[in-house]
Amino acid sequence: MSAHADGAAHAEHHTHYTTTGLDNRKIAIWAFIGSECMLFASLIATYLIYKGKSLVGPYPHTEYIDAAGKVFKPILDIPVTSASTFVLLASSFAMVLALQAVQLKGVPLPSGAGWWTRAQRSSQLWLAVTAALGTTFLGFQAYEFTAFVNEGLTIKTNLFGSTFFTLTGFHGAHVTVGVLWLMSLLWVDRTRGLAGPGDELLVDITALYWHFVDVVWIAIFTLVYLIQ
């Protein structure tokens, strides 16, 4: 038996349908995502409640001059964050292509297929691209956090710092978990292949988590960075 067929049989063996006919793992990930909605809602609500109530700067959108006359520019760097937002959106696109590649495994390529059609069939390529883009997003976040600390904003400086670092830090932690998850999936794909129906579900669940991390950032980008 080939490694792929063996992997498929193994994955099929572990597929558990419930009385609804739905796989319990997929129900679990949606329930988890639902609970995560409430976690991030509490963090976003806390940020919004304390928005504009910091007694000292630096401030997100306006200049601040302290008692010693030191000038702090608005601290948010919109061009950098816009670039990181684009990177995360691109990672979601790569993730759907990874899932599509796994779903199309076993389906023969049409004759005369171009490079793009062939590229779309490589789950390893798209999983790697998604993980790389996720890591790039984390690099942007590390750069942003470092710049803020160098400019005098820490988690202890003011209410903005406390709520900002907590909210974006939690999101960054979720992206980190997602990147590790993607890399483990990539390792599985390289060692035994993701060819079975159970494997499709495995990638589907990973994709759901990854897209959720993306939609949370869509909300954060608008509420924290753009609304003044």
Question: Given the rule CB under 8 A, which residues bind other proteins?
Answer: 17-23, 26-27, 30-31, 33-35, 37-38, 40-42, 44-45, 48-49, 51, 78, 82, 85-86, 89-90, 92-93, 95-97, 100, 103, 116, 120, 197, 204, 207-208, 211-212, 214-215, 218-219, 221-223, 226-228
Give the nearer residue to other proteins in terms of CB position, either 89 or 132.
89
Minimum separation from the CB atom of position 202 to other proteins (A):
13
Nearest residue (CB) to other proteins, 152 versus 170:
170
Q: Is 62 helix (H, G, I), strand (E, B) or coil?
A: coil
DSSP state of 207: H
Tell the smallest beta-carbon distance from residue 140 to other proteins (Å): 15
Place of tokens 């964050």: 81
- The answer to whether the CB of 195 falls within 8 A of the CB of 7 is yes
- DSSP letter assigned to residue 218: H
Give min distance, CB of 69 to other proteins, in A: 27
Q: Which two tokens stand for residue 28?
A: 């679990």
**Bridge partners (DSSP) listed for residue 23:** 17
How many whole angstroms from its chain centre is CA 28? Answer: 19
| Surface-to-core class of residue 178, CB atoms within 10 Å of its CB (0-12 exposed, 13-18 middle, 19+ buried) | buried
CB of 116 to other proteins, least distance (A): 8
Q: How far is the CB of 59 from other proteins (least distance, A)?
A: 15
Query: Could you tell me how far CA 44 lies from the centroid of its own chain?
Result: 17
Residue (48 or 149) nearer to other proteins, CB: 48
- Residue 102: CB atoms within 10 A of its CB come to 26
Decide whether 6 or 36 has the Cβ nearer to other proteins: 36
Nearer to other proteins, 4 or 26 (CB): 26
